[in-house]
Amino acid sequence: MELRHLRYFVSVAEQGSVSRAAQKLFIAQPALSTQIKQLEEEVGAQLLVRVPRGVQLTAAGLAFLEDARAILARVQLATVHARAEGEKPRSVRIGLVPSATHSLLPGLLQRMRDSGSTLQLQVREMINSQQLNALRNDEIDVALTRPAEPIEDDAHWHVAIQVPDPYCLALPASHPLAGERGTMALKSVKHAEFVAFSRYQGPAYFDRTVALCMEAGFSPNVRHEAGQFVNVLAMVGIGLGVAIVPASLALQGNPHVVFRQLAASSYTSQMAVVCRKTWLQNSEAKAMLGLATQELKALAGRLKP
């Protein structure tokens, strides 16, 4: 049984005549009669009987007509819903670390505009651990993240790209070491006061600051904390202390802060674009992920000394 059988039957029942229904459906009367006969054979009951001026529904036909109309109505409604859903602007849920708001997101948005993408973004700021949990729980589709350690694919997410974003030291422009050039040893600021990323909002990054200093042979005097890197740099800029930050922050161009490259360390820093595997199922998603990958590659190129 196919939908056309139901449409033919409903039309004949409503017209009360095979000939009139055939005219309305633009098919030959014998062909329509054959379709109705096939339907009755499949149902296993006579649905129509001939009368002097056309056809009349049997008791089985009356019952079948009600269900046939309901089925056709549901099919029409399903079509309307599908078309409406297809016409909706698609959206992508992005979770990003605060620093990506300034470093990665603006360029990604411009690439999307230039490509003519109609995707709508839903952006949520979150720390690294929250991002991975959100990917796992289907709360975001893409993470612009800064993992403490290199990240690999797993059952829930795919790592599209991962690039180094080495640590550097942010100093007030008035600091004696700000005018020097080249790589510097972190121990040269062992007596300085430090501004750190808040241990309550980013414990992993706070711990990494301490670990880098301990590796250099001293325990940092962390006197000030901020919840976002932009505020960390603001505190450095007004002379409250120095801070260990990712090199990508130098691209923000704060005139009151100087960034010095640190000597090699066993601790690494990286930026990554990670997406939920089940999201990456259509060409639109793949195109958007490609744009994010291009932007992160371009950002990494600007970080090279």
101 and 230 housed in the same domain: no
214 and 255 housed in the same domain: yes
73 and 18 housed in the same domain: yes
For residue 301, what pLDDT is reported?
87
Question: Which pLDDT tens digit goes with each residue over 65-118?
Answer: 888 888 888 888 888 777 766 655 478 999 998 888 888 899 999 999 999 888
For residue 84, what pLDDT is reported?
63
Rank 54-58, 63-67, 131-135, 251-255 by mean pLDDT and report only the highest.
131-135
Instruction: Output the pTM of the full model.
Output: 0.66
141 and 277 housed in the same domain: yes
Q: How many domains does the chain have?
A: 3
12 and 38 housed in the same domain: yes
Instruction: Write out the residue range of the structural domain in which residue 152 sits.
Output: 91-163+270-303
Question: Which pLDDT tens digit goes with each residue over 121-141?
Answer: 999 998 888 899 999 999 999
**226-231 long-range CB contacts below 8 Å, 24 or more apart?**
226/195, 226/196, 226/197, 226/198, 227/98, 227/197, 227/198, 227/201, 227/202, 228/98, 228/99, 229/98, 229/99, 229/197, 230/98, 230/99, 230/102
For residue 305, what pLDDT is reported?
55
Task: Dig out the tokens for 157 from the structure.
Answer: 């997410």
For residue 304, what pLDDT is reported?
61
Mean pLDDT for 138-147 is 92
Mean pLDDT for 155-181 is 92
Question: Which pLDDT tens digit goes with each residue over 14-23?
Answer: 888 888 888 8
CA 65 to chain centre: 46
- CATH number, domain containing residue 190: 3.40.190.10
For residue 119, what pLDDT is reported?
86
81 and 222 housed in the same domain: no
Which of 67, 87, 107 terminates a domain? The answer is 87
For residue 191, what pLDDT is reported?
94
284 and 243 housed in the same domain: no
